[in-house]
Structure 1
Amino acid sequence: MVVGILTLTIPSSWNHHRRHCLRPTPPLIKCESGGVPLTKQAHRFFSSLTSTAAVDDLATANRLIKKFVASSPKSIALNALSHLLSPRNSHPHLSAIAFPLYTKISEASWYNWNPKLVADLVPLLDIQGFKSMVSSLCEMGQPNEAENVVEDMIKNGVKPSLFELRFVLYGYGKMGFFEDMERMVRKMEIEGFGVDTISSNMILSSYGAYNALPKMVPWLQKMKALEIPFSIRTYNCVLNSCPMIMSFVRGSGGFPVSVSELVNVLDEVEALLVKELVESSSVLDEAMEWDDLELKLDLHGMHSGSAYLIMLQWIEEMKSRFRVEECVVPAQITVVCGTGKHSSVRGESPVKTLIKAMMVQMKSPMRIDRKNIGCFIAKGQVVRNWLIQSLD
């Protein structure tokens, strides 16, 4: 995979006498790998596709493509397409959108048929055909046939991308063929694709689907050894598979209100999984914003088990910081859990219900915000006093 280093180049100032008759050239983001330089607008477009995971969501991708083409002048739209068609494209994970982007551009009133662009698209159609076959076979429960397609790609001189290898890996995992899944991990490494967070989450999800919890522990340890960061989905994959933790968060009774108390009541494997997760603070750090004005914990994207464990970690983090005399207490503390817009039953948030139950059991001073019912709020000093006095 060719990785480009992006640097911003601003065009030189315009001659005073031409300033009123010529439009400045859009700023370009140069790709030092040798790819087609990108305009800032095209770079923002690619970033929006990546940040919303639209590459894997055809409807979202088409909506963003339509909006980009409609709002961009000819030069910027063609710049984005040319970059995707470049052999040294610094966004290879977005190559799948080249054809739908071309299709939308060809519908624009300003477009004239360009034989070079069409010629550059043809090889991509072959690659997209392979990708479609691999993904379809895996969805049909035939990962072995999908792996054969990958081998055909290699024979035809097409280097498989991380996309195809991940699909085959997860295809084996969903079927419970763990030896083949682990073999694909080794194959990915041979092909030069290091295991990342996404691949790891696929593996953890596969183990969890077949209650293979003991296999999760060494994989989490491997992630830490390779410095692969945990994500919210890592938490979701692991904790959704832990029956005792799920019984706590779904039940109507009480539950442990500290990490140590939780570990003591879990069985050996679940306790090990929790210990592996909490030894890394990356997910908590990502979910938490702490400054003088506000301490905010955002639980969006977390399932109930993840929200529960992150809350326990968060409380311990607050206690640790508040014990230090020099710590500046934020004016307000907020927990964002949402209102259930994305829940299986719209308007009913399992996470909000869980957090409310935790607040009640711990006698927390935090209450639902009347201005935003998806949040719990309290004054920072009040929460500090509660933590120091009540939970020591």
Structure 2
Amino acid sequence: MSAVAASLSPPAAADGGRRRRVKPVEASLRRAASGGGSSWRSERRLMSELERTVTTGAAERVIRSYVCSKSERATLAALSRLLMDSDPLAVPFYEAVTQARWFKWSSIHAAAVAALLDSNGGTEESRSLISSSISRLDSTSELALFYCDLMAAFSSRGLRDRAIDFYAQLRTMPLSGGKIYTAMIKSLCLMDLAGEAEEALREMISQGYQPEAYHFGLVAKCYGKAGSLVEMERVIASMSDAGIRLGTGAANIVLSCYSSCRDHSRMLTWLKKMCKLRIAPTTKAFNFVLNSCPTVALMAQELGPLLPLSITGLVKKLKSASPWPAEAELVQELLASSSVIDKAMHWSESEVKLNLHGFSTISAYVLMLQWVDALKAHSTLPLEVSLVCGIGKHSDVRGEPKVRELAQEVLSRMGCPLRLSTRNKGRLVAKRDRVKLWLATDWSSPAAEGSTDQSHNESNQQPFVLTLLRKVGQVLSSFVQFSKGEA
């Protein structure tokens, strides 16, 4: 494979140092192969060094040095990262790994490298790697698992015909063991072959292997992604026939599929069913439901002058302005059945904190309105009140952290005294006395909660004035703190 490695290893700087976004399939392969991300910093250093190399020889020297000096765990994590990013340097890196004294053949890595070779034009080298890998396997079960990994790896790179060929070869073999059926169902779902995945699930049951909710969830989600909601519902309903209780994971899968289709009526019915079964909506469910509400999404995105600043105002606005009949009732049902606010809000003797990590901007907006109601409901508050919004490190959107930007704008319109912490740029904070004084005042915006009879000029000027005042306040606050430091 050395010649292939050289041909697939152009200088990393040629693509501007940008790497591809992580695909879900490749991310799952990395978790399976490396078992975690404790070596994240060393990975970052390696990627940085490889991006600075300008020749194939220099890149290979960096790779050999890394493999020789790092632990097995760190090296495999780096290999998985390169494979996830579809980096051609994954091929010479894999060669270096196979020469390490601790090397143990991995079905997942071999399949991923073979798929990368094939997708980059190295079909013969890919077939050679697959053939040599098969020759080292001692049992039928090991070969079956390797075919499943090949199906997943090749389908994730768009090589569907090759993936189907591996499936055909797999079906010629006698299959046994729940692990093999699990891998086959997962791979078929990754290939969007819901019917074949369900057939494999039935076969698994007929062979006497007990499936779990996970297996039904995979098949149901595969149907849901294809828009076959009736089939998805049928698979979820069949869980009870297998003696499996509907849990949070399966419930979230159903909500995510309804969310993709923006079917509010079905989501509403499903939320009510979850309530009867005492399955409380999780953070994921909260995001799924609210992200499917176009009117709420538009409010959180535009932050217009008539933005509702309370849950009551939000529901009232949805009932009067939403073109989607079930949207208002859906939001009401979610807030009534969800305990997400209780989990996101942490009380202690010294602080009450709302943590917005894991929430979309739309969910963060609604959660903040709930949070204010929760603060009002308590007669006493701790010494400090804070809101943790992060700095956008885990966001898919580059630039200004969207959740922080939204939190600052909404709180500013409320007249809330929470301000950005000087020690933590992802945290808004204020002392108890100032928050109590604010909660005691009538800070609700007449424009947001009341009549909409305003002139066009007033509607345009209000957000500008509020934003200007907030910016001036931040500048003055920074100046005062700087003056105190100088003193």
One fold, TM greater than 0.5?
Answer: yes
Separation in 2, partners of 1:281, 1:291: 22
User: Paired residue for 2:196, among 126, 145, 166?
Assistant: 145
Could you say if the C-alpha distance between residues 381 and 60 of structure 1 is closer, same or farther in structure 2, counting changes exceeding 3 Å?
Answer: farther
Query: Which secondary structure does the structure 1 equivalent of 2:429 belong to?
Result: strand
User: Paired residue for 1:339, among 388, 391, 416?
Assistant: 391
TM-superposed CA distance for 1:159, in Å, is 2.1
TM-superposed CA distance for 1:252, in Å, is 4.0
> Which residue type is aligned with residue 303 of structure 1?
S
Query: Which secondary structure does the structure 2 equivalent of 1:376 belong to?
Result: strand
Answering whether residue 285 of structure 2 is matched by residue 234 of structure 1, we say: yes
TM-superposed CA distance for 1:106, in Å, is 9.7
* Residues 365 and 406, structure 2, Cα contact 8 Å, conserved in 1: yes
Separation in 2, partners of 1:59, 1:289: 33
Separation in 2, partners of 1:184, 1:64: 31
**Residue deviations 1:201-246, cap 9 Å, x none?**
1111111111211110010111111000211101100011000000
What is the aligned partner in structure 2 of residue 243 from structure 1?
Answer: 294
What is the aligned partner in structure 2 of residue 57 from structure 1?
Answer: 28
Answering whether residue 355 of structure 2 is matched by residue 384 of structure 1, we say: no
TM-superposed CA distance for 1:132, in Å, is 2.2
* Residues 339 and 347, structure 1, Cα contact 8 Å, conserved in 2: no
More helix by share: 2
What is the aligned partner in structure 2 of residue 221 from structure 1?
Answer: 272
Separation in 1, partners of 2:255, 2:190: 18
**Residue deviations 1:317-355, cap 9 Å, x none?**
10111xx3xx2x211111001101111134532111111
Separation in 2, partners of 1:106, 1:156: 36
TM-align CA RMSD: 3.1
Matches within 5 A, 1:98-247: 126-247=177-298
Separation in 1, partners of 2:302, 2:198: 43
Query: Which secondary structure does the structure 1 equivalent of 2:346 belong to?
Result: strand
* Residues 141 and 171, structure 1, Cα contact 8 Å, conserved in 2: yes
* Residues 294 and 333, structure 1, Cα contact 8 Å, conserved in 2: yes
Separation in 1, partners of 2:192, 2:35: 31
* Residues 341 and 347, structure 1, Cα contact 8 Å, conserved in 2: no
Separation in 2, partners of 1:366, 1:334: 7
User: Paired residue for 1:375, among 420, 427, 440?
Assistant: 427
Separation in 2, partners of 1:257, 1:65: 41
Relative to structure 2, which stretch is displaced further, 345-354 or 161-170? 345-354
Q: Which runs of 5+ in 1 are unaligned?
A: 1-55, 72-104, 108-117
Could you say if the C-alpha distance between residues 185 and 373 of structure 1 is closer, same or farther in structure 2, counting changes exceeding 3 Å?
Answer: same
TM-score under structure 1 length normalisation: 0.68
* Residues 330 and 381, structure 1, Cα contact 8 Å, conserved in 2: no
> Which residue type is aligned with residue 221 of structure 2?
Y
**Residue deviations 1:72-110, cap 9 Å, x none?**
xxxxxxxxxxxxxxxxxxxxxxxxxxxxxxxxx996xxx
Answering whether residue 409 of structure 2 is matched by residue 361 of structure 1, we say: no
User: Paired residue for 2:326, among 261, 269, 287?
Assistant: 269
Query: Which secondary structure does the structure 2 equivalent of 1:279 belong to?
Result: helix
* Residues 280 and 338, structure 2, Cα contact 8 Å, conserved in 1: no
Separation in 1, partners of 2:440, 2:427: 23
Separation in 2, partners of 1:292, 1:179: 50
Matches within 5 A, 1:60-99: 60-64=31-35
TM-score under structure 2 length normalisation: 0.55
Q: Runs (4+) of structure 1 moved beyond 6 Å?
A: none
What is the aligned partner in structure 2 of residue 348 from structure 1?
Answer: 400
Query: Which secondary structure does the structure 1 equivalent of 2:390 belong to?
Result: coil
* Aligned residue pairs, count: 293
TM-superposed CA distance for 1:377, in Å, is 0.5
Query: Which secondary structure does the structure 1 equivalent of 2:239 belong to?
Result: helix
Could you say if the C-alpha distance between residues 181 and 189 of structure 1 is closer, same or farther in structure 2, counting changes exceeding 3 Å?
Answer: same
TM-superposed CA distance for 1:65, in Å, is 7.1
Query: Which secondary structure does the structure 2 equivalent of 1:341 belong to?
Result: coil
Query: Which secondary structure does the structure 1 equivalent of 2:296 belong to?
Result: helix
Q: Which runs of 5+ in 2 are unaligned?
A: 1-26, 39-70, 73-101, 105-137, 146-176, 445-487
Separation in 2, partners of 1:371, 1:158: 55
Separation in 2, partners of 1:130, 1:306: 37
Percent identity reads 36
Give the number of the structure whose alpha-carbon radius of gyration is greater: 2
* Residues 384 and 429, structure 2, Cα contact 8 Å, conserved in 1: yes
Could you say if the C-alpha distance between residues 261 and 252 of structure 1 is closer, same or farther in structure 2, counting changes exceeding 3 Å?
Answer: closer
TM-superposed CA distance for 1:281, in Å, is 4.8
What is the aligned partner in structure 2 of residue 317 from structure 1?
Answer: 374
What is the aligned partner in structure 2 of residue 282 from structure 1?
Answer: 339
> Which residue type is aligned with residue 402 of structure 2?
P
